[in-house]
Amino acid sequence: MTDLAWIEAALTAARPQAVAALLRYFRDLDIAEEAFQEASLRALKNWPRNGPPRDPAAWLIFVGRNAAIDAVRRDSRQQELPPEEKISDLDDVETRVVERLDNSDYRDDVLRLLFVCCHPELPATQQIALALRIVSGLTVPQIARAFLVGESAMEQRITRAKARIAKAGIPFGTPGAVERAERLAAVAAMIYLVFNEGYSAEADSADRRRSLCDEAIRLSRLLLRLFPAEPEIMGLTALLLLQHARADARFDANGAAILLDEQDRTLWNRAMIAEGLALVDKAMRHHRPGVYQIQAAIAALHARAARPEETDWAEINLLYRALEQLQPSPVVTLNRAVAVAKAEGPEAALDLIEPLAERLFGYFYFFGVKGNLLMQLGRNGEAKAAFDRAISLARTPAEAAHIRMHLDRLARDSAPRQGASGIV
């Protein structure tokens, strides 16, 4: 790595803190971003010559703030606007920048910056794009590539999102405990969206989108550093790490998805798994279960199994039951059915999913799982009907191909099949 690469990594790492502090001073996203941009340019010139500062974020905030104040003053002289309108708490920043960074107030800055991106009026795609642009500092072309859309379309999407936020107003008051908890939950959900955007990619775009997963993990770790004793943020970080650990094993050479049971587990990333398992353990000590912790615990049980046969399906069943209680949803029950099928057999699983039929009438996975269970019970006629329905609901060629494989197997062999894999 060159010095330049290190500086770029340092700028990326400092960006959330620096932009968040600049946003508090200037109360304007565009000014904060431009100030950070200017500070970064000066860092690229200054740091190789003078060596890296002891605290890059503090340096960038200080330099960015001064640069932006100069710019605002210049503009206001031209446009005759009072600078006070654009600059807040001007007097306290000069001497207290470094102190601020160590102050617990500062975590509210970063939380605010993240929270701004998950305004409830913004559709999910805009939240993700905005977070990647503002917090992560990805360029518009980078984000456009990850979303598989054109650059101008992405530029528009981000501009629209920013306009909505400006109109809604950014909350600058110090949040109370309840408000902080709500913001934390909203931000966690947004980070999970960023991850899913990368994770749910098809094989052909998986490489381009993998960076979204990396970015989500980085944001989640950032949040955990700010709130080191929040078990749900431990759970979220663990969940992302444990799922992303399987990235190299998820697609075959032709780009077809490989189910969990059939993945080459030696390709799983051991370092990510170690970190994920450690975080699950830490979270459990708090005895404050939440949806991310439970999902992480499920992922942990898969990660701990060296071979699929060693998976503790009974425990996974219990965890899904806990998840059902916290977050009742037919999809969660459907997932539990896969565990029940492994732990107690297909009959029990089928009993569990029958009542879901009405609510999951248009859900691809429901009919995939149902067909699978019926196939295991040797009820091939009913299995075929379920698979036919699944194919009609498939959203991608890969999903359809997977079901067709089952149909072919049914056609070839009408005998009951042992150990058919569920869709996990």
Footprint of other proteins (CB under 8 A): 1-3, 5-6, 9-10, 12-14, 52, 54-56, 102, 214, 218, 221-222, 224-225, 228-229, 234, 237, 271, 274-275, 278-279, 282, 285
Nearest to 216 by CA among 183, 238, 246, 249: 238
Shortest Å, Cβ 237 to other proteins: 7
Least Å from the CB of residue 214 to other proteins: 8
Q: Minimum distance from CB of 52 to other proteins (Å)? A: 5
Q: Which is nearer to other proteins, 77 or 225 (CB)?
A: 225
Other beta carbons within 10 angstroms of residue 420's beta carbon come to 17
Q: What contacts 317, CB < 8 A, 6 or more positions away?
A: 336, 339, 340, 343, 344
Nearer to other proteins, 87 or 213 (CB): 213
- Residue position matching structure tokens 């999903």: 399
Please report how close the Cβ of residue 396 comes to other proteins at its closest, in angstroms.
27
Name the amino acid, one letter, at 405.
M
Least distance CB 370 / other proteins (angstroms) = 39
User: Is there a contact between 117 and 130 (Cβ–Cβ < 8 Å)?
Assistant: yes
Q: How far apart are the C-alpha atoms of 65 and 34, rounded to whole Å? A: 10
Whose Cβ is closer to other proteins: residue 52's or residue 83's?
A: 52
Q: Which is nearer to other proteins, 1 or 177 (CB)?
A: 1
C-beta separation of 337 from 367 below 8 A: no
What does the alpha-carbon distance between residue 25 and residue 59 come to, in Å, rounded to a whole number?
A: 15
Nearest partner of 165 among 131, 117, 128, 123, judged by Cα: 117
Looking at the Cβ atoms of 104 and 254, the one nearer to other proteins is 104
In the bound complex, what is the minimum distance in angstroms from residue 59's beta carbon to other proteins?
12
Cβ atoms within 10 A of the Cβ of 184, count?
21
Q: From the CB of 53, what's the least distance to other proteins, in Å?
A: 9
Choice between 202 and 248, CB closer to other proteins = 248
Give the residue with the Cβ less far from other proteins, 10 or 316: 10
- In the chain, the N- to C-terminal Cα span, in Å, equals 40
**Of residues 9 and 306, the one with the C-beta less far from other proteins:** 9
Whether 416 and 377 have beta carbons less than 8 Å apart is answered as: yes
In angstroms, give the least distance from the CB of 356 to other proteins. 37
Q: Can you list the pairs that 248-252 forms with residues at least 24 positions away whose Cβ atoms lie under 8 Å?
A: 250/206, 251/203, 251/206
Q: How many CB atoms lie within 10 A of CB 158?
A: 19
Which value, in Å, is the radius of gyration of the alpha carbons in the chain? 25
Residue 278 Cβ, how far from other proteins at the closest point, in Å?
Answer: 4
In the bound state with other proteins, the residue whose beta carbon lies nearer, of 154 and 222, is 222
d(C-alpha 234, C-alpha 227), whole Å: 9
What three-state secondary structure class fits 315?
helix
Nearer to other proteins, 9 or 41 (CB): 9
Q: Minimum Å distance from CB 84 to other proteins? A: 34
* DSSP per-residue letters across 330-377: HHHHHHHHHHHHHHH-HHHHHHHHGGGTTTTTT-HHHHHHHHHHHHHT
